[in-house]
């Protein structure tokens, strides 16, 4: 079978997966979860040592954690996502803080910007979920200038959120041929994705700690607002009891609190790539 034929068969599949993912992330209200992760965007911008006036693009920005962090450092920020409702939440937050930010609906796999348009390209727990991983990595590199930085926060396979997705996958197997998002949290995958465009790739392991009143509280919030879990329970119907039990077991394994509350450290990697 020719390469062209293989690509023609694969492309519609990836487009279908993307459409389904877009619906998933638009369900619930990710902003409720996203605002708790603000510290990750702040830490990433500090690690990058962003300078005032830098042209910054936030890809798959959600409700704008990294966007706001860069804008607070007086960068020229463009915030993008393919879920317009999430961008609207980012706009509300920027307006409340009197921060100047440009917002634009955009697909991480086909960014509507010229080559080398930005000094820094960011993504916190966003671009890692694209179905066409190579295409997304190529786009991040394309819009970043030579000598600029591509920086990300990506969940690892072994960390709590990586294990959440593995648990969901036991009950609802992912589409055939679609790679795990958690690969973006591994050095091997990042080196493969950015081998042709990176001068250096630096990874720093970090922890984000989820803090909730109890297991019940966590599951109530995530079942209601976090698209992937929200949609999984809807799809499973009565069979969702098994997923509920497995998620509770996972919470029990990672919870470090001893007072009845939930304190769950979740590993991610902070990635800073210097564009060649």
Q: What is the pLDDT of residues 62-106, one digit of tens each?
A: 999 999 999 999 999 999 999 999 999 999 999 999 999 999 999
Domain ranges of the chain: 3-208+267-275
Predicted pLDDT of residue 27: 87
Q: Give the pLDDT of residue 9.
A: 42
Contacts of residue 268, Cβ cutoff 8 Å, sequence gap at least 6 = 40, 125, 153, 154, 155, 156, 159, 161, 185, 205, 206, 207, 208
For residue 21, the model assigns a pLDDT of: 85
Contact 46, 77 (CB under 8 A): no
pLDDT in tens, 22-43: 888 888 899 999 999 999 999 9
The strand pair at 101-105 and 198-212 is best described as: unpaired
Q: Please give the pLDDT value at position 68.
A: 98
| 3-208+267-275, CATH topology level | Rossmann fold (3.40.50)
Q: What span, in angstroms and rounded, lies between the C-alpha atoms of 83 and 102?
A: 15
3-class secondary structure, 116: coil
Low-confidence ranges of the chain (pLDDT < 70): 1-12
Spatial separation of the C-alpha atoms in residues 185 and 36, rounded to whole Å = 20
């Amino acid at each position: 079978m020719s390469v062209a034929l293989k690509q023609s068969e694969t492309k519609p599949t990836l487009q279908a997966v993307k459409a389904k993912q877009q619906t998933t992330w638009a369900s619930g209200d990710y902003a409720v979860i996203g605002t708790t992760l603000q510290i990750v965007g702040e830490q990433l911008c500090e690690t990058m040592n962003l300078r005032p006036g830098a042209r910054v693009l936030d890809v798959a920005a959600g409700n704008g954690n990294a966007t706001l962090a860069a804008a607070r450092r007086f960068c020229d920020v463009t915030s993008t996502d393919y879920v317009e409702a999430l961008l609207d939440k980012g706009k509300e937050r920027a307006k409340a803080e009197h921060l100047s930010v440009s917002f634009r609906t955009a697909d991480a796999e086909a960014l509507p910007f010229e080559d080398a348009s930005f000094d820094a390209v960011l993504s916190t727990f966003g671009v890692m979920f694209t179905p066409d991983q190579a295409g997304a990595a190529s786009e991040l590199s394309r819009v970043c200038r030579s000598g600029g930085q591509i920086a990300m926060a990506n969940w690892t396979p072994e960390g709590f959120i990586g294990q959440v997705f593995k648990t969901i996958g036991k009950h609802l197997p992912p589409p055939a041929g679609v790679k795990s998002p958690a690969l973006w949290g591994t050095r091997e995958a990042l080196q493969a994705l950015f081998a042709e465009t990176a001068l250096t790739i630096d990874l720093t392991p970090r922890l984000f700690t989820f803090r909730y009143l109890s297991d019940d509280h966590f599951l109530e919030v995530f079942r209601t607002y976090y698209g992937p879990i929200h949609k999984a329970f809807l799809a499973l119907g009565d069979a969702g009891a098994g997923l509920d039990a497995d998620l509770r077991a996972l919470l029990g394994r990672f919870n470090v609190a001893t007072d009845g509350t939930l304190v769950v450290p979740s590993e991610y990697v902070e990635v800073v790539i210097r564009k060649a």
